[in-house]
Chain A
Amino acid sequence: MNIEVVEQAPRTHYLNATYGLKSWLLTRDHKRIALLYLGSVTFFFALGGMFASAIRLELLTPQGDMMQAETYNRVFTMHGIAMVFFFLIPSIPATLGNFLVPLMIGAKDLAFPKLNLLSWYIYNLGALFTLIAIVTGGVDTGWTFYTPYSTTYSNGNVLLTGVGIFITGFSSILTGLNFIVTIHTMRAPGLTWFRLPLFIWSNYAASLVMVLGTPVIAITILLLAVERVAHVGIFDPALGGDPVLFQHLFWFYSHPAVYIMVLPAMGVISELIANMTRKNIFGYRFVAYSSLAIAVFGFLVWGHHLFVSTQSVYAGMVFSILSYAVGIPSAVKVFNWTATLYKSSISYNTPILYAFGFIGFFIIGGMTGFFLAALGIDVHVHDTYFVVAHFHYIMVGGTIMGYLGGLHYWWPKITGRMYPEGWARFAALVIFVGFNLTFFPQFLLGYMGMPRRYYAYPPEFQVLNVMSSAGASILGVGYLVPLIYLAWSMRYGPKAVSNPWGAFGLEWQTSSPPPTENFKETPVVTWEAYEFRPRHEAEVIDITRH
Chain B
Amino acid sequence: MWSLTIVIGFVLTLLILYFAIKYRRRDEDEIPRPIRASHRLEAVWIVVPFFVTMGIFAWGAGIYYRMYRPPEEAIDVYVVGKQWMWKFQHLDGHREINELHVPVGRKVKLTMTTEDVIHSFFVPAFRIKMDVVPGKYSTIWFEPTKAGRYHLFCAEYCGTSHSGMIGWIDVLEAPEYQAWLGGGAAGGSLSASGEQLFQQLACNTCHKADGTGRGPSLQGAFGKPVQLSNGQRVEVDEAYVRESITNPKAKVVAGYEPIMPTFQGQVSEEQLVQLIAYIRSLSNAKGSESQAGSAGAQQTKQTQ
Name the distance in Å between A294's Cβ and chain B's nearest Cβ: 14
A182 an interface residue at 8 Å Cβ cutoff? no
- Could you say which of A237, A363, A535 contacts B13, with CB atoms under 8 Å apart? A363
Interface set, chain A 287-323, CB cutoff 8 A to B: 307-310, 313, 316-317, 320-321
With a cutoff of 8 Å between Cβ atoms, the chain A residues found around residue B12 in the complex are 334, 338, 359, 363
With a cutoff of 8 Å between Cβ atoms, the chain A residues found around residue B56 in the complex are 324, 370, 373-374
With a cutoff of 8 Å between Cβ atoms, the chain B residues found around residue A338 in the complex are 12, 15-16, 19
Query: A333-370 vs B: 1/0 string, CB under 8 Å?
Result: 01110110111111110000000100110011001101
Name the residue of chain A whose CB is nearest to the CB of B128: A379
- Cross-chain contact B155 with A384 (CB below 8 angstroms): yes
B267 an interface residue at 8 Å Cβ cutoff? no
- Stretch among B26-34, B169-177, B198-206, B282-290 lining the A interface: B26-34
- Could you say which of B117, B124, B164 contacts A153, with CB atoms under 8 Å apart? B117
B25 an interface residue at 8 Å Cβ cutoff? yes
- Stretch among A24-32, A48-56, A272-280, A508-516 lining the B interface: A272-280
Report the bound CA distance from A457 to B163 in whole Å: 7
Report the bound CA distance from A328 to B51 in whole Å: 10
- Cross-chain contact B33 with A140 (CB below 8 angstroms): no
With a cutoff of 8 Å between Cβ atoms, the chain B residues found around residue A448 in the complex are 124
With a cutoff of 8 Å between Cβ atoms, the chain A residues found around residue B45 in the complex are 331-332, 335
With a cutoff of 8 Å between Cβ atoms, the chain A residues found around residue B135 in the complex are 237-238, 242-243
With a cutoff of 8 Å between Cβ atoms, the chain A residues found around residue B231 in the complex are none
With a cutoff of 8 Å between Cβ atoms, the chain A residues found around residue B264 in the complex are 238
With a cutoff of 8 Å between Cβ atoms, the chain B residues found around residue A375 in the complex are 57, 60-61, 63-64
Q: Which of B40, B53, B116, B125 has the most CB of A within 10 A?
A: B53
A264 an interface residue at 8 Å Cβ cutoff? no
Name the residue of chain B whose CB is nearest to the CB of A532: B31
- Cross-chain contact B159 with A277 (CB below 8 angstroms): no
A142 an interface residue at 8 Å Cβ cutoff? yes
Interface set, chain B 243-292, CB cutoff 8 A to A: 264
Name the distance in Å between B182's Cβ and chain A's nearest Cβ: 31
* Number of residues of chain A lying within 8 A (CB) of chain B: 98
- Cross-chain contact A454 with B37 (CB below 8 angstroms): no
- Cross-chain contact A383 with B24 (CB below 8 angstroms): no
With a cutoff of 8 Å between Cβ atoms, the chain B residues found around residue A310 in the complex are 130-131, 133, 136, 138
A378 an interface residue at 8 Å Cβ cutoff? yes
- Cross-chain contact A336 with B37 (CB below 8 angstroms): yes
With a cutoff of 8 Å between Cβ atoms, the chain B residues found around residue A348 in the complex are 24-25
With a cutoff of 8 Å between Cβ atoms, the chain B residues found around residue A484 in the complex are none
- Cross-chain contact A279 with B34 (CB below 8 angstroms): yes
Interface set, chain B 33-58, CB cutoff 8 A to A: 33-38, 40-42, 44-46, 49-50, 53-54, 56-57
- Cross-chain contact A376 with B37 (CB below 8 angstroms): no
Interface set, chain A 387-422, CB cutoff 8 A to B: none
- Cross-chain contact A280 with B34 (CB below 8 angstroms): yes
Interface set, chain A 116-143, CB cutoff 8 A to B: 140-142
Q: A345-B31, A382-B129 in contact; A70/B160 too (CB < 8 A)?
A: yes
- Cross-chain contact B32 with A345 (CB below 8 angstroms): yes
With a cutoff of 8 Å between Cβ atoms, the chain A residues found around residue B224 in the complex are none
Name the distance in Å between A538's Cβ and chain B's nearest Cβ: 4
- Could you say which of A73, A328, A541 contacts B160, with CB atoms under 8 Å apart? A73
Interface set, chain B 146-177, CB cutoff 8 A to A: 151, 153-164, 166
- Cross-chain contact A380 with B127 (CB below 8 angstroms): yes
Q: Which of B13, B27, B57 has the most CB of A within 10 A?
A: B57
Other CB < 8 Å A-B pairs besides A64-B163, A320-B61, 6 of them? Answer: A73-B160, A237-B134, A279-B34, A317-B57, A360-B16, A367-B9
List, sorted by A's number, 10 A–B pairs whose CB atoms are closer than 8 Å. A142-B157, A154-B159, A310-B130, A332-B42, A368-B5, A373-B56, A449-B124, A454-B162, A455-B163, A532-B32
Which residues of A does B touch, CB under 8 Å?
Answer: 64, 69-70, 73, 140-142, 144, 146, 148-149, 152-154, 236-238, 242-244, 277-280, 282-284, 286, 307-310, 313, 316-317, 320-321, 324, 327-328, 331-332, 334-336, 338-339, 341-348, 356, 359-360, 363-364, 367-368, 370-371, 373-380, 382-384, 448-449, 451-458, 531-535, 537-543, 546
